[in-house]
């Protein structure tokens, strides 16, 4: 069995489990699964050192389809389960696959605290802006006015942006991609895998049954270039079919401007800096939404911070250096003892 | 010269030796404002008593407010200790001595004091204002209403201030020393030396030498005052108890539970992970274990109760000993995750230090009302082994037993303690680590023929650490195939899985040793108890047996499953009495399991049973 632990010999096939994949035909989840299975052999990590943890929802079936260690947990709790696993076994590569309901509604608390602590988890959120497994209720990312089974007269529940939540919680890596753009998704997922610390990736994912076409504006090839903004570190924020539009700052207000001889030059535009210590830039990008702004895709933020489990390991090492490895005899006899003869 | 100054002067000269009266046992209760340091005083007093070779038991009783407004009835905090020349099982029914630091403390506790008992009152705190707050129309120290008691009025506030007048400390700081003055009084009254206590104070306040010095002076002043004044006509001596030789220390149940869990980890050779969220009265376990990183213990203060248990489940999946600690409301929040742990068949220990419920209930008070929650409180057919500790020191053994069951049977185990046991202290005989049982943990590493849910003779599946090559597999909360663990919705498979999970937990019964029955092995009455009622039942039974009554006592550590010989034992007595601090939860389990009538004795007042309450019921029944 030693060949299985030789990471370099692995292929995508080695990461496909023998279980039938049970998502609806045409579901965006298939593309994400394929990309992650393709990515795994590239990371130089033995297969047995991967663990995929999930909660409940369509996306949370993910671990069953990966030929790795995995746990299909309970609704919203995957980041907590994964945090315990990572603390207990820092050498493992621990991934969380979740959805907009799982991570942001029932599991919002665990989601933000995993980010805040910077536990080295890869958190992949498949955002389809709807509850799929329970057959079509609105989620915390559903748009205002949207008609669903529980909002027959239109949604009045204001959505929030998962990337903004992650940034607000202090995430050290935040990125966004879309299920229909394989190359872009592959690049973003690889960056997340290589980040040390909590890495959050929001994937716009199309639910073909309950919210089909939710992302057409940024995925349809005929219009998408004007509707999306591809983030590149160290490059100005430029978008549009002819690369003729950009983002400028007026005071603290971002505005869309034309680029051209009689308009703004690239030098006037905001430069994307994913490594900026201050998350302000990443945060205003996370607020961009159609139709006023192009929707950003790519890496919003990637900064190095000590991870929670590294600091925990250090605390243990320090305690042992100071007190020596504890023994039961010393522990039992510590404190105030007396002897009866 | 004022009375106070005279008394203070008296405190500085050695009085003539007083007659010493020998006693079998004494129960003392210290009561004051929640900021008066009564818990500390009680603790220190019990340590001094223990070192003198007495057995003791304590009962801290404090409000849930951290520092309630001073002088109020609801802000009273108390600490009761019984020590004796024989084995001590409870903190005592009625105090022989009440040390009351203010009118509110006197008012709320006087009713419990033994008729003719000693009341030592800090007369300096009996101001008009404090009397009014306690609802006294006149000063009970002066109006003759305490005629039934031996009353000692001592202006502890003023005497402490006087003793510290040139210490350079503020009035507020000297005020905080009066608990040590009270401690000095009591140590003298019970003929205990104070040198050890002085050392302890200096150690405790090592970082604040001026406070240490002030406390030592207050202690000495109190001691000298009692020694020298003629107020106490006699001093008392309790003969030392006949205690087994060995090294002892004073441990609370929560501390003992922490040590037991760490011992389990060392005995198994597997690191320990505690995922927890602070909740009264369980938090001290988290505190203690946070100090033990050099024992390979990881503590994780999670964002909530759910994350506490879920992180422990994640850690257990990773191949370490996972545990979580909580109390009633937290237990409710963990319920769904308990079900997950049952489905995953991973070892996990859940410690519930019970408190008064339902909802937020009585956070700092004692109750045993989470038993049915522990045994049944989950969706689906969801069996979990349940064990309960019967005393503070027993928490050590129960923690090891909980982990033994968890790893042998690959199951979550609920370990019930309660606020009384958790916070109360008793002497713990320090065991030789070599005498403790080994906990055998085997991680499967052989991929050949591996099936994630294949079972051994105990119906336990294999524990596999992620990172083991060739054994990658998935687990989860959906029903699983009997062998492979893959998702299965097959009807017959589900029935088989439900039954095998039940059979696995039922099978733990074969490990339970024969149940010890104190008293006649058959006869009129059997008292069956569980948890912290152990001490009261034991003393009540002994007292009734001494009266010639045919009464026996069996105390359950294992509640799910029940001991296999319990059914036979119940048949040997005409009547079965079950005293519980709930409305009869164990009684319900016994009726259901053995189809026999049992008599419930219920108490849900946030206070432990008095020996007399159980004794009286025994006399009625046999």
Residue-wise pLDDT for A40-91, tens only, equals 999 999 999 999 999 999 999 999 999 999 999 999 999 999 999 999 999 9
Last residue of a domain, one of B435, B462, B480: B435
CB B534 within 8 A of CB B375: no
Mark whether B232 and B260 lie in a shared domain. no
The closest of A131, A128, A132, A274 to A199, measured between CA atoms, is A274
Per-residue tokens: B320? 């370490």
B467 interfaces chain A, CB cutoff of 8 Å: yes
CATH of the domain at B258: 3.40.50.970
Mark whether B70 and B145 lie in a shared domain. yes
Residue with tokens 């890496």: A299
Distance from CA of B24 to the nearest CA of A (A): 19
CB A126 within 8 A of CB A28: yes
Residue A337 to residue B249, Cβ atoms within 8 A: yes
SS3 B518: strand
Other C-beta atoms closer than 10 Å to the C-beta of B305 total 24
Q: How do residues B303-326 score in pLDDT, each as one tens digit?
A: 999 999 999 999 999 999 999 999
- Looking at chain B, the whole-number percentage of residues with pLDDT higher than 70 is 97
B319 interfaces chain A, CB cutoff of 8 Å: yes
CB B252 within 8 A of CB B388: no
Residue B469 to residue A48, Cβ atoms within 8 A: yes
Residue B247 to residue A71, Cβ atoms within 8 A: no
Mark whether B416 and B537 lie in a shared domain. no
Mark whether B321 and B381 lie in a shared domain. yes
Residue A81 to residue B313, Cβ atoms within 8 A: yes
Residue B318 to residue A92, Cβ atoms within 8 A: yes
The whole-angstrom separation of Cα B216 and Cα B223 is: 10
Distance from CA of B273 to the nearest CA of A (A): 7
pLDDT at A3: 44
The whole-angstrom separation of Cα A106 and Cα A155 is: 19
CATH of the domain at B615: 3.40.50.920
Distance from CA of A122 to the nearest CA of B (A): 15
Mean pLDDT by 10 residues, chain A (341 residues): 59 95 95 97 97 97 97 98 98 98 97 98 98 95 96 97 98 98 98 98 96 94 94 97 94 92 85 95 94 96 98 97 96 89 81
The DSSP string of A118-176 is T-SEEEEEEE-SSBTTTTSB--TTPPTT--BTTBTT---S----HHHHHHHTT-SEEEE
Query: Would you place residue B238 in the very low, low, confident or very high pLDDT band (cuts 50, 70, 90)?
Result: confident
Interface test with A, best of B43, B54, B317, B436 (most A CBs within 10 A): B317
Nearest C-alpha in A relative to B346:
A71
pLDDT at A340: 83
Q: How do residues B169-225 score in pLDDT, each as one tens digit?
A: 898 888 889 999 999 998 888 888 888 889 889 988 999 999 999 999 999 999 999
Tell me: pLDDT of B15 over 60: no
Distance from CA of B506 to the nearest CA of A (A): 26
Cα B60 from chain centre: 9
Residue A73 to residue B51, Cβ atoms within 8 A: no
SS3 A117: helix
How many Cα atoms within 13 Å fall on the side-chain side of residue A216? 5
Sequence-distant contacts of B487-495: CB under 8 A, at least 24 apart: B487/A19, B487/A64
Mark whether B227 and B321 lie in a shared domain. no
Tell me: pLDDT of B6 over 80: no
The whole-angstrom separation of Cα A303 and Cα A296 is: 18
Handedness of CA B378, B382, B384, B390 (dihedral sign): positive
A110 contacts on B by Cβ (under 8 Å): 303, 306-307, 310
Please, what CATH class does the domain formed by A2-214+306-312 belong to? alpha beta
What lies within 8 Å, CB to CB, of A224 at 6+ separation is A217, A218
Mark whether B281 and B133 lie in a shared domain. no
Mark whether B552 and B430 lie in a shared domain. no
Per-residue tokens: B387? 């064990």
The whole-angstrom separation of Cα B133 and Cα B36 is: 17
B43 inside domain: yes
The whole-angstrom separation of Cα A260 and Cα A239 is: 13
B268-295: average pLDDT: 97
Mark whether B124 and B265 lie in a shared domain. no
Expressed as residue numbers, the domain containing B583 is 517-621
User: How is chain A split into domains, by residue range?
Assistant: 2-214+306-312
Mark whether B254 and B184 lie in a shared domain. no
Torsion angles phi and psi, residue A85, rounded to 5:
-65, -45
Mark whether B195 and B66 lie in a shared domain. yes
CB B359 within 8 A of CB B599: no
Handedness of CA B291, B302, A282, A203 (dihedral sign): positive
> Considering the entire predicted model, what is its pTM?
0.92
Alpha-carbon distances, residue B436 vs B257, B263, B385, B583 (angstroms): 15, 9, 22, 37
Last residue of a domain, one of B435, B461, B482: B435
The whole-angstrom separation of Cα A36 and Cα B365 is: 53
The closest of B414, B402, B398, B82 to B254, measured between CA atoms, is B398
CATH of the domain at B124: 3.40.920.10
CB A105 within 8 A of CB A296: no
Q: Point out the residue among A1, A332, A338 whose CB comes nearest to the CB of B259.
A: A332
Handedness of CA B94, B99, B105, B111 (dihedral sign): positive
Interface of B with A in 153-212 (CB under 8 A): 200
Q: How far apart are the first and last CA of chain A?
A: 59
Other C-beta atoms closer than 10 Å to the C-beta of A258 total 11
pLDDT at B233: 67
The closest of B263, B99, B274 to B178, measured between CA atoms, is B99
The domain total for chain B is: 3
Helix H or strand E encompassing B197: helix B195-204
CB B77 within 8 A of CB B179: no
Other C-beta atoms closer than 10 Å to the C-beta of A135 total 11
Nearest C-alpha in A relative to B264:
A328
pLDDT at B14: 40
Mark whether B81 and B139 lie in a shared domain. yes
Last residue of a domain, one of B238, B258, B274: B238
Q: Point out the residue among A1, A81, A339 whose CB comes nearest to the CB of B470.
A: A1
What lies within 8 Å, CB to CB, of B61 at 6+ separation is B77, B78, B79, B80, B364, B365, B607
The whole-angstrom separation of Cα B390 and Cα B326 is: 18
A87 contacts on B by Cβ (under 8 Å): 273, 298, 300, 311, 314-315
Distance from CA of B425 to the nearest CA of A (A): 13
Q: How do residues B490-534 score in pLDDT, each as one tens digit?
A: 999 999 999 999 999 999 999 999 999 999 999 999 999 999 999
What are the helix (H) ranges across B379-526? 394-409, 419-423, 491-506
Mean pLDDT for chain B overall:
93
Mark whether B401 and B535 lie in a shared domain. no
Q: How do residues B101-140 score in pLDDT, each as one tens digit?
A: 999 999 999 999 998 899 999 999 999 999 999 999 999 9
């Amino acid at each position: 069995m030693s060949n299985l632990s030789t990471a370099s010999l692995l292929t995508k096939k080695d990461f496909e489990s023998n279980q039938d994949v049970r998502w609806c035909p045409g579901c965006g989840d298939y593309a994400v699964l394929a990309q992650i299975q393709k990515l795994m052999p590239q990371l130089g990590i033995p297969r047995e050192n991967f663990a995929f943890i999930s909660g409940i929802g369509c996306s949370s079936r993910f671990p069953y389809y990966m030929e790795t260690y995995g746990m299909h947990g309970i609704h919203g709790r995957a980041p907590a389960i994964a945090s315990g696993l990572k603390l207990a076994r820092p050498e493992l590569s621990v991934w969380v696959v979740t959805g907009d309901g799982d991570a942001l509604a029932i599991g919002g608390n665990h989601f933000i605290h995993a980010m805040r602590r910077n536990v080295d988890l890869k958190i992949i959120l498949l955002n389809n802006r709807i509850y799929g497994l329970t057959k079509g209720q609105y989620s915390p990312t559903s748009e205002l006015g949207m008609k669903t089974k529980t909002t027959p007269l239109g949604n009045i529940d204001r959505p929030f942006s998962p990337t903004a939540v992650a940034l607000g919680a202090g995430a050290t890596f935040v990125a966004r991609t879309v299920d229909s753009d394989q190359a872009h998704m592959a690049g973003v997922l690889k960056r997340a895998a290589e980040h040390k610390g909590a890495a959050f990736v929001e994937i716009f994912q199309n639910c073909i049954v309950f919210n089909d076409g939710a992302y057409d504006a940024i995925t349809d090839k005929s219009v998408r270039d004007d509707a999306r903004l591809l983030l590149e570190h160290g490059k100005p924020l430029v978008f549009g079919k002819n690369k003729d539009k950009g983002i400028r700052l007026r005071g603290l207000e971002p505005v869309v401007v034309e680029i051209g001889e009689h308009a703004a030059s690239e030098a006037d535009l905001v430069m994307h800096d994913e490594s900026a210590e201050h998350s302000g830039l990443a945060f205003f990008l996370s607020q961009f939404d159609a139709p006023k702004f192009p929707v950003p895709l790519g890496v919003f933020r990637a900064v190095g911070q000590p991870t929670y489990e590294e600091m925990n390991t250090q605390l243990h090492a320090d305690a042992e250096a100071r007190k020596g490895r504890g023994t039961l005899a010393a522990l039992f006899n510590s404190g105030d003892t007396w002897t009866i003869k | 010269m004022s009375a106070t100054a005279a008394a203070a002067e008296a405190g500085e000269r050695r009085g003539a030796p007083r007659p010493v009266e020998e006693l079998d046992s004494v129960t003392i209760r210290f009561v004051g404002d929640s900021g008066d340091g009564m818990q500390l005083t009680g603790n220190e007093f019990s340590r001094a008593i223990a070192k003198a070779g007495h057995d003791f038991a304590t009962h801290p009783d404090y409000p849930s407010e951290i520092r309630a407004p001073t002088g109020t009835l609801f802000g009273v905090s108390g600490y009761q200790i019984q020590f004796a020349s024989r084995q001590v099982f409870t903190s005592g029914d009625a105090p022989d001595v009440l040390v009351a630091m203010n009118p509110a403390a006197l008012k709320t506790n006087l009713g419990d004091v033994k008729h003719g008992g000693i009341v030592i009152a800090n007369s300096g705190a009996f101001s008009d204002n404090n009397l009014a707050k306690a609802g006294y129309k006149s000063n009970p120290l002066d109006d003759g209403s305490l005629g039934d008691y031996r009353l000692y009025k001592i202006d502890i506030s003023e005497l402490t201030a006087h003793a510290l007048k040139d210490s350079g400390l503020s009035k507020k700081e000297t005020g905080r020393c009066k608990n040590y003055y009270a401690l000095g009084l009591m140590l003298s009254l019970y003929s205990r030396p104070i040198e050890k206590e002085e050392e302890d104070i200096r150690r405790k306040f090592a970082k604040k030498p001026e406070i240490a010095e002030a406390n030592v002076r207050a202690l000495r002043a109190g001691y000298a005052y009692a020694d020298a004044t003629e107020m106490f006509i006699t001093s008392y001596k309790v003969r030392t108890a006949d205690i087994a030789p060995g090294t002892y220390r004073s441990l609370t149940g929560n501390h003992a539970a922490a040590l037991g869990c760490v011992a389990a980890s060392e005995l198994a050779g597997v690191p320990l992970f505690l995922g927890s969220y602070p909740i009264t009265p369980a938090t001290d376990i988290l505190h203690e274990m946070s100090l033990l990183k050099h024992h390979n213990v990881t503590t994780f203060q999670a964002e909530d109760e759910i994350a506490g248990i879920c992180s422990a489940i994640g850690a257990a999946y990773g191949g370490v000993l996972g545990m979580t600690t909580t109390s009633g409301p937290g237990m409710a929040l963990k319920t769904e995750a308990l079900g997950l742990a049952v489905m995953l068949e991973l070892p996990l220990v859940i410690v519930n230090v019970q408190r008064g419920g339902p909802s937020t209930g009585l956070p700092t008070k004692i109750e045993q009302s989470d038993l049915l929650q522990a045994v049944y409180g989950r969706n689906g057919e969801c069996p979990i082994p349940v064990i309960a500790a019967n005393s503070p020191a027993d928490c050590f053994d129960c923690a090891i037993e909980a982990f033994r069951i968890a790893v042998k049977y690959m199951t979550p185990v609920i370990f019930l303690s309660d606020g009384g046991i958790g916070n109360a202290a008793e002497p713990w005989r320090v065991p030789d680590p070599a005498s403790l049982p080994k906990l055998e943990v085997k991680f499967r590493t052989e991929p050949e023929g591996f099936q994630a849910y294949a079972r051994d003779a105990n119906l336990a599946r294999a524990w596999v650490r992620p990172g083991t090559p060739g054994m990658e597999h998935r687990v989860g909360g959906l029903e699983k195939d009997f062998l492979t663990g893959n998702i299965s919705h097959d009807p017959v498979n589900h029935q088989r899985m439900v039954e095998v999970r039940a059979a696995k937990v039922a099978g733990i019964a074969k490990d339970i040793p024969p149940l010890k029955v104190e008293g006649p092995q058959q006869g009129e009455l059997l008292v069956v108890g569980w948890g912290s009622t152990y001490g009261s039942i034991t003393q009540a039974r002994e007292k009734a047996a001494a009266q010639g009554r045919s009464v026996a006592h069996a105390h359950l550590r294992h509640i799910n499953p029940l001991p296999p010989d319990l059914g036979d034992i119940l048949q040997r007595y005409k009547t079965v009495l079950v005293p519980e601090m709930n409305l009869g939860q164990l009684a319900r389990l016994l009726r259901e399991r053995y189809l026999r009538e049992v008599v419930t004795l219920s108490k849900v007042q946030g206070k432990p049973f008095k020996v007399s309450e159980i004794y009286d019921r025994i006399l009625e029944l046999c």
